[in-house]
Chains A and B, each alone.
Chain A
């Protein structure tokens, strides 16, 4: 094959609960495809080498850096981005609301990635120590907040979701 002759392939996958298909250049990363072909702009292009976590999405229940993932590997997968968390009328999910309340945001660039990891943590339905949470969140770099507010927001959302799941009212702090 001639050098740089463009190869295309059609991929079928579930994106935020909807079955989709797209013919993509095989050289595309999943970040490229989600942003350019599906307009999922919460998926940020940060370092593009798997260090900053700004491009994090959930694939079949696990968080991955979409910058280190070929678009064609999406075939048959269930992929979720931050856009899937917003309610039908734009309502914020518990984790998003917690980020707002705890001011876990400044410039916002790392936020979608952090929130997707936090969402994965919340969905495990388990309780974690601060040290465990720090480790679970360690795949994200934030240059503004200093991480403390992020940790607080994640803890808050975990608690809130847990009370909801148990059907109990959360005591005021």
Chain B
């Protein structure tokens, strides 16, 4: 038995919005792999829940007419990893969410829950930041779309207004076209562990594969929210591709980091790993783009 006060079950997105407005004290539950654990450990004990588990309308991955990839918020990690659209255009996201928890957790946990939870360590989030994902929120006043970095406010805090439900995550065509990326999860165990640091890099090369047209670098657990290393990105954009450039860019991530000391790792170690992981993920992304170093 879970220590649930009252359980509400939404039958549609509209129903969920109305229930959320009527019972603002109820926590939204999707896959349950975070909320139910926190209920067991006492953090959410005695709370009411609003279950959106049954809303199949926001499950699944589709390609919209303008080429935007839409990931329904209730899509589970394993379905993202195995989806042909994801594999073709943004395979790194499938690889990143394949590192969450263990297989059973990946069959239950959803990308919407992973992001709404607001954890900087969530395995999907560094990659979603690195690919300029857009979060779609549906509320009493209609649909609101905002860039994922604006969605995250602080550790555990996201921009969800009263009555709002996250219904999708969108990756615009401009973001994924001719772009390849790599994610490195640094953790103590290979399964069932939380990232000490998550690094996601993606690269677009010029047609002759000699110039870095665009590089985007994002981190999880390098600050209270996931963050982008814009200073380093600016150094790399438009520059001729070389090993020296990659090393220069990797070292330049440091000023944008907001690492802290925690029981998992020290600030110094995280900073060191951020530089090293950027370098490795950058090299891997270049290789995936067909570039030579």
Distance A28 CA – B9 CA, assembled complex (angstroms):
15
Q: Which of B36, B41, B78 has the most CB of A within 10 A?
A: B36
Q: Which residues of A contact B104 (CB under 8 A)?
A: 50, 53, 56, 63-65, 117, 139
Distance A3 CA – B3 CA, assembled complex (angstroms):
11
B101, A25: Cβ atoms under 8 Å? no
Name the distance in Å between B195's Cβ and chain A's nearest Cβ.
16
Name the distance in Å between A86's Cβ and chain B's nearest Cβ.
22
A139, B5: Cβ atoms under 8 Å? no
Total A-B Cβ pairs within 8 A? 92
Name the distance in Å between B61's Cβ and chain A's nearest Cβ.
17
Does chain A have a CB within 8 A of B190?
yes
- What size tier do the contact residues of chain B reach? 20 to 34
- Select which of B3, B7, B37 is within 8 A of A26 by beta carbon: B7
B7, A7: Cβ atoms under 8 Å? yes
Interface segment, A14-22, A66-74, A100-108? A66-74
Known A29-B2, A73-B53, A139-B105; judge A48-B40 contact (CB<8 A): yes
Known A25-B1, A53-B104; judge A135-B33 contact (CB<8 A): no
Complex interface bits, B29-65 against A, C-beta within 8 A gives 1, otherwise 0: 0001100110011000010000101100000000000
Q: Which residue of A lies closest to B23 (CB)?
A: A1
Distance A135 CA – B105 CA, assembled complex (angstroms):
13
B1, A65: Cβ atoms under 8 Å? no
Does chain B have a CB within 8 A of A32?
yes
Does chain B have a CB within 8 A of A136?
yes
- Select which of A7, A29, A65, A73 is within 8 A of B6 by beta carbon: A7
- Select which of A49, A68, A72 is within 8 A of B41 by beta carbon: A49
- Select which of A4, A25, A63, A137 is within 8 A of B107 by beta carbon: A63
Does chain B have a CB within 8 A of A138?
yes
Q: Which residues of A contact B46 (CB under 8 A)?
A: 3
Distance A63 CA – B105 CA, assembled complex (angstroms):
9
Does chain B have a CB within 8 A of A148?
no
Q: Which residues of B contact A137 (CB under 8 A)?
A: 103
A27, B2: Cβ atoms under 8 Å? yes
Name the distance in Å between A54's Cβ and chain B's nearest Cβ.
11
B192, A51: Cβ atoms under 8 Å? yes
Q: Which residue of B lies closest to A3 (CB)?
A: B5
Does chain A have a CB within 8 A of B191?
yes
A70, B51: Cβ atoms under 8 Å? yes
Known A62-B78, A68-B33; judge A139-B6 contact (CB<8 A): no
Does chain A have a CB within 8 A of B255?
no
Complex interface bits, B101-133 against A, C-beta within 8 A gives 1, otherwise 0: 111110110000000000000000000000000
Q: Which residues of A contact B (CB under 8 A)?
A: 1, 3-4, 7, 25-29, 32, 48-51, 53, 56, 62-65, 67-70, 72-73, 75, 117, 135-140
